[in-house]
Amino acid sequence: MDELFECDAIALAEQIKTGAVSASEMLEASLSRAERLNPSLHAIVNINTSKAKDLIAATEQSAPLYGVPTLLKDLGAEAIDFPSHNGSRLYRDTVYSYDASIYTRIQKTGLIPYARTNSPELGIGPTSEAGVYGNPTRNPWNLNHTSGGSSGGSGSAVAAGIVPLAHGSDGGGSVRIPASCCGLVGIKPTRARLPDGPGVGEGWAGMAIDGFLTRSVRDSAFMLDQCSGSDLGAPYSAPPLNKGFMASMDDQQSGLRIAVLDTDFMGNPVHEECRKAVSHTADMLRQLGHHVSSWSSTIAPDVRDMMMAWTKIVAAGTLLSVRYKKEIDALTPDDVDGVTYGAVQLGKTVSGADYLQSINMIHAFGRKMATLFEDFDVLVTPTLAEPPALIGRFKPDNSDFMDYRNGPDGVFAYSPYTAAFNASGQPAMSLPLHWTSDELPVGVHFASAYGNDEMLISLAAQCETSMPWHDKQVGLIRQFHHI
């Protein structure tokens, strides 16, 4: 049975279809693995075994991923069957009266969810250390380090081989950051490529979108194909796909204009291991026949403005989420984590005019980025400015939300690239193309023009073939087989 945990979701589904293992046996095995590993990883909450068994019985066996166990992030993906904490004591054991569109599409693939995965409170941190869970989520590669956030529980569970893929979401890097920290594939598609309804029209002024943490490009491509498309009544939609994600993996593109940036957007140096990751990737891309050049621009002031606008929008969004559960004037620091309390206090200072101005700044930034991408097809950077942070470095106790995000040692210094593409709405992804000498993953980040998701997935497939990461992932999973 152990070798089945080394399969990606597509391979595992094939094992179930051929009768090598039943869906019920696979669920029990995944639950057993979770029971053994979760006390050290703290990645999974709200296990609902009986509901998962019901889903096995109710799901069409002809579904493409029938019987493959999976997990839902403890934020979003609202589901009647799976209550959520949303990373918050205020939302503890929230029961939903409806299923989110993304959840119903996940169900139709045949995947069998059985639990939720840890998130920072209301998704506003780069680590998963919310007080509601009692313990921080840890990185399977090294338990002293974070698995990232806000989809950190999903990243930890997939990297440890508990499930082959898990749901996540990304409003400032929250799929790509854990993908980088955990040695996984994390793709943020073009804005509105995936549905947001029916609970909301858009998340964080259109900057947030669902996604998946996977170990293979094909699993990510498959899930994006299955889940793409606007839901009923969506306020806007992404440009239509040409052939789809899976079909685009076979495109053998060459001659792409690839710009490489190994500093942050301000020109500040990044960790040497992150610089190395980009350098090795650039060499590989040249060998594949792409045109690789260094990138420089005058975008630094725009990035600073974008980061300030992003922070105000998220603060206002956090205030709104808290207000659903408690009157803001009655909120105390004991009700929420420090970072959340600080975000609410900042949100109280954001007027309607300030909020609209922030959205205008985000849209202006997107237009600036669109202009820059006329000169190249793909921008390659590190995903993070450093390898995975130590547990506690971004502990959510800093009640100065502006400092937490934008201070000299804040989140944007640690993750200076990802939020830019939430603001612009462009597709972006993190691929596991480098490991440090002490075996910590370092992701490489790729972004393309708005709507160019298929080109990006084609490039991802080329990278997976040329710099394969499967053996690294399997080596880690095997370490956990007998723990």
- The answer on pLDDT for 296 being more than 90 is no
Q: What are phi and psi of 263, to 5 degrees?
A: -115, 180
The three state secondary structure string of 200-221 is CCCEHHHCEEEEEEECCHHHHH
Interval 268-282 mean pLDDT: 98
Tell whether the model's pLDDT for residue 123 goes beyond 90.
yes
The pLDDT value given to residue 307: 98
- Residues 37-56, mean pLDDT to the nearest whole number: 98
Confidence band for 218, pLDDT divided at 50, 70 and 90: very high
Q: Which of 56, 75, 76 is nearest to 16 (CA)?
A: 56
Average pLDDT, the chain: 97
Residue with tokens 């999976």: 70
The shares of helix, strand and coil residues in the chain, as percent rounded to the nearest 5, are 45, 15, 40
Which range (26-30, 156-160, 220-224, 229-233) has the least confidence? 229-233
pTM for this model (two decimals): 0.98
Q: How confident is the model at residue 253 (pLDDT cuts 50, 70, 90)?
A: confident
Band of residue 252 on the pLDDT scale cut at 50, 70, 90: confident
Please, are residues 177 and 153 in contact by the beta-carbon 8 Å criterion?
Answer: no
Residue 135: is its pLDDT beyond 90?
yes
Mean pLDDT of 208-229: 98
Q: Domains in the chain and their CATH numbers?
A: 2-254+442-479 (3.90.1300.10)
Query: Any idea how long the chain is?
Result: 483
Q: What is the mean pLDDT of residues 421-431?
A: 98
Residue 482's pLDDT is 82
Q: How confident is the model at residue 333 (pLDDT cuts 50, 70, 90)?
A: very high
**Pairing relationship of beta strands 441-448 and 378-382 according to DSSP bridges:** antiparallel
- Both tokens of residue 104? 């119903």
Confidence of residue 251 (pLDDT cuts 50, 70, 90): very high
Structure confidence at residue 1 (pLDDT)? 85
Distances (CA, A) of 331 to 120, 226, 312, 319: 19, 41, 19, 10
Average pLDDT over residues 362-377: 97
pLDDT of residue 478: 98
Span 82-101, average pLDDT: 98
User: In the structure, what pLDDT confidence band is assigned to residue 363 with cuts at 50, 70 and 90?
Assistant: very high
